[in-house]
Amino acid sequence: MPTCRRCFVSGNVQGVSYRAAAQHKARELGVNGYARNLTDGRVETLICGELVSVDAFCAWLWQGPSHAQVSDVTCMDVEVEPPRGFKSG
């Protein structure tokens, strides 16, 4: 069974192509899920896949795209039906 994590990314992460970069990184790592903007300025991600790939994606969240300024990343393991593909919306 794949590992799934929900993460919340804070800082200057909206309007800097964070979701598109997350989608690109997810495809590169072979994980599924989504990234979406929240009304409070954070980005929420759900990632499912092999543990090593999920760990790599969660580590990447601290970096994000070049214009992002990440101040905090909070991730928690969740039990959900793994999504197919990766959606950015």
Q: For position 57, what pLDDT does the model report?
A: 98
- The two tokens of residue 64 are 């994000």
Question: At 43, which amino acid appears?
Answer: V
Domains defined along the chain, listed by start: 3-80 (3.30.70.100)
- Consecutive 10-residue averages of pLDDT for the chain (89 residues): 93 95 96 96 96 97 95 94 79
Spatial separation of the C-alpha atoms in residues 78 and 17, rounded to whole Å = 26
Helices (H), the chain: 18-29, 51-61
Spatial separation of the C-alpha atoms in residues 61 and 68, rounded to whole Å = 10
Q: For position 86, what pLDDT does the model report?
A: 83
Spatial separation of the C-alpha atoms in residues 5 and 31, rounded to whole Å = 11
Residues annotated as part of the active site: 19, 37
Question: Beta 43-49 vs 86-88: how paired, if at all?
Answer: unpaired
Instruction: Report yes or no on whether pTM surpasses 0.85.
Output: yes
Q: For position 13, what pLDDT does the model report?
A: 96
Cα 61 to Cα 1, 16, 44, 72, 81: the distances in Å are 23, 13, 11, 9, 22
Q: For position 87, what pLDDT does the model report?
A: 84
